[in-house]
Amino acid sequence: MQSVSGDNNEPDQYSPRFVTDTQLPHEAFEFSYTNDNEVYQKLLSVKSTAIGADGISISMLLYSCPIILSYLTHILIIV
């Protein structure tokens, strides 16, 4: 199978050699635990003023944080 770029030393993306020779990045993707404070800090760092398709803006989320923050954090942990 000929390489897409024309270089016969490099396997194309559909060849078995491409799959076995491709190195994964050294940094691994992982999930980590979060808490109310971290979620609140992330909400505070949002710069967008756009309103979502559900009609909820970041300012509405921030205003309702005293009531919804623990629930929001729980949702983010279980998703």
In a domain, 46, yes or no: yes
In a domain, 21, yes or no: no
Average pLDDT, the chain: 83
| Residue with tokens 């940094």, as numbered in its chain | 27
Contact present, 71 and 79 (Cβ < 8 Å): no
| Per-residue model confidence (pLDDT) at position 11 | 60
| 9-13, 28-32, 37-41, 66-70: segment of lowest average pLDDT | 9-13
In a domain, 9, yes or no: no
What is the domain range of residue 42? 27-78
CA-closest candidate to residue 17, choices 4, 38, 35, 1: 1
pTM higher than 0.85? no
Q: Number of structural domains, the chain?
A: 1
In a domain, 52, yes or no: yes
Average pLDDT over residues 38-61: 95
In a domain, 40, yes or no: yes
In a domain, 36, yes or no: yes
For the chain, the first-to-last Cα distance in angstroms comes to 42
Read off the amino acid at residue 10.
Answer: E
| Per-residue model confidence (pLDDT) at position 10 | 65
